[in-house]
Amino acid sequence: MIKLTNLSANYTTVRGTVTAVNNVNLEIPDGITLGIAGESGCGKTTLLKVIYGDIGFPLSIESGSVDYGLTDEYDELITTYNIQKHWFHRITYIPQGSMSSLNPVVRINAQFFDFIKSRSQRRRMLEEVREYVKGLGLPPEAIDAYPHQLSGGMRQRVMVAMASFLKPDLILADEPTTALDVVVQKGILLLLMDLQEQMKSTILFVSHDMGVHYQISHKMFIMYAAKGVEYGDSKNVFERPLHPYTRLLTESLPTIGDAHLRKGVAGRPPSLWEKLIGCRFADRCPYVTEYCRTDEPAFTEYRPGHFAACHYSERFL
């Protein structure tokens, strides 16, 4: 189980510090796909970065901790400060743009083994990799190609292959399908679902597309303006959401076969530079009261395993 306790992370800039992840509490069971949703700038990617342990200036952890529930070969607990040693082996990362994350002047096979030093070991592993990518729907020759010779979908498959080849415990995927077309996207998502079932790894999947989350995620975590607003099983979050923001997110999307007028959410998220008092969604919330503007709602468990940060979640129960 991965446990985030009171996790806050800051960016230091010339204008001062801005808290991009604010007081996030989360318990993620092993072997599931957790979907993280929210608008751009709400801290999704920063949260992933902190969990990945990729912390360096200007990003810093202000308070709280990440407990991975993993131990290394000497039985020592893995923490944010030594997880870097386990990158690629125990914890891997699929970045957003497959186009820009592969080195354009180095063949794929060379990039696959960046982390392996000995030549003989590399040769042995190359054969395994060829077998492995075949299972992911890539031609084995793709391994010998340069990135520009492959299509966007194939490159993203290569990224998935790199992230899953060593059977890590935790895969972090940051909008892995955003730049892809729907048909290619479906291929990648089905692949991730199959891999997750085979390897029993935990996948943290960031996307702003609620439809994608409905297909792939077992649990959902919704973020708004650096804070968690809802967390629970996908089924509950989609069918019986407890936070008005989640409700608006799922209801505002048009579906084919249903042409009645949909409204977007008016306004925009608050700027994190300002001192924020009360509920951060208050300005855009249809149910807002004076109480919301002064008192911040706590992240409370309303149903078993279903949390929300809203004063009036009971009305949705």
Partner 1 sequence: MITTVLKTEHLNKEYSLGSLFRRIKINALDDVNLEVKSEQPVIISLVGESGSGKTTLAKVLLRLLQPNSGDAVVYDRIIAGEGAVKKKAAFLKSVQPIFQNPFEAFSSYRPVDAYLQTTAMRVGKLTRSESVEVMTTALNAVGLKYADVRGKYPNQFSGGELQRVSVARALIPRPNMIIADEPVSMIDASMRMNVVNLFLSLKQEYQTSFLYITHDLATAYYISDYVAVMYRGCIVEFGAARDILTSPGHPYTRLLLDSIPTITMKWDRKGFASSDIETKEFRFQGCKFYNRCPLAQSICTEKRPAPVKKGDGREVYCYFA
From 22-30, 80-88, 96-104, 256-264, give the range in contact with partner 1 by CB under 8 A.
256-264
- Do residues 20 and 43 lie in contact, with contact meaning Cβ atoms separated by under 8 Å? yes
210 binds partner 1 (CB under 8 A): yes
Residues 275-304 that bind partner 1 (CB under 8 A): 284
Return the HEC string of 81-122.
Answer: CCHHHHECCCEEEECCCHHHHCCCCCCHHHHHCCCCCCHHHH
Size of site (CB under 8 A) for partner 1:
46
Question: Least distance in Å: CB of 146 to partner 1?
Answer: 14
Round to whole Å and give the CA distance between 173 and 201: 12
Tell me whether strands 202-206 and 33-37 are parallel, antiparallel or unpaired. Answer: parallel
Question: Least distance in Å: CB of 43 to partner 1?
Answer: 14
- Do residues 229 and 242 lie in contact, with contact meaning Cβ atoms separated by under 8 Å? no
From 1-9, 69-77, 181-189, 298-306, give the range in contact with partner 1 by CB under 8 A.
181-189
39 binds partner 1 (CB under 8 A): yes
Q: Which DSSP letter does residue 31 get? A: T
185 binds partner 1 (CB under 8 A): yes
Round to whole Å and give the CA distance between 153 and 168: 22
249 binds partner 1 (CB under 8 A): yes
Return residues touching partner 1 (CB under 8 A). Answer: 39-40, 137, 139, 151-154, 181-187, 189-190, 193-194, 208-212, 214-215, 238, 245, 248-250, 252-257, 259, 261-266, 268, 284
